[in-house]
Amino acid sequence: MTEHAAERHLRRLTTPRSAAVAGVLFGLIFGTVLVLIRLALPEGAVHGSQWASGRADMIRLATILMPFAGITFLWFIGVVRDGFGTLEDRFFSSVFLGSGLLFLAMMFAAAAVGKGLAAGKRVSDEAPSAELAVFGQTMVTTLSNTYALRMAAVFMMSLATIWLKTRLMPTWLVVSTYLAAVAVLIASDVSPWITLVFPVWVLVVSLAILSRRAEVPTPDRV
């Protein structure tokens, strides 16, 4: 019985910490992906100009990094939900989980479209036609900026509401989460760089989780 109790204690201690580190990795990797996409597809640029300037390599690198961002984001969802414990609310947890998975699915779809555009340039010396460039760029920016990031805003709002009701996180983090969600929800169409608010927020939340875990005293083992 003593060994079983020790094993359960060890899992509760190490799993949230490792998953919170994954959240830090997601913030860094996904932030890099967004920067690469914004640099490769600058606002107001002529459609197809990124192929002539060699920016296809940026899109290709973003598509390589995106699966790793997705893996770390799933770990981040896991540690946040694990923190709810018996206080979990089924309604808000469903919205939290559903919006997070929708966000990830649409970012994967956007990365796949970008990969297809980059592959078209790689196998041929000629740049894709103007019509194809317009279609591909519109798909990437619409999936990532309009739809995926708005699901990220819902993800943030639902999580902030859970924290508000359960008091699992400090008030400053709840308020800043609501403000960040509003910025992503509304201002992402004003400036594409606003989308960087989301990975920065995940980074802050992960660091907050890590600091709270570090403050919890380690009980004596049985």
What are the distances in angstroms from CA 154 to CA 13, 37, 138, 181? 29, 22, 23, 7
Average pLDDT value over all residues in the chain: 78
Q: Which residues contact 35 (CB under 8 A, 6 or more apart)?
A: 196
For the chain, the C-alpha Rg in angstroms (whole number) is 20
The predicted structure's pLDDT at residue 5: 53
Q: What is the pTM of this model?
A: 0.78
Type of residue found at 203: L
Compute the average pLDDT of residues 191-207: 87
Residue with tokens 């004003």: 190
| pLDDT tens for each residue of 123-172 | 555 555 667 777 877 888 888 888 888 999 999 999 999 888 888 888 99
Structure tokens, 205? 């939340």
Tokens encoding 112: 């796949």
Burial-class residue 61 by CB neighbours within 10 Å (0-12, 13-18, 19+). middle
108 or 12: whose pLDDT is higher? Answer: 108
pLDDT digits (tens, 9 = 90+) for 61-95: 888 999 999 999 998 888 888 777 666 777 878 89
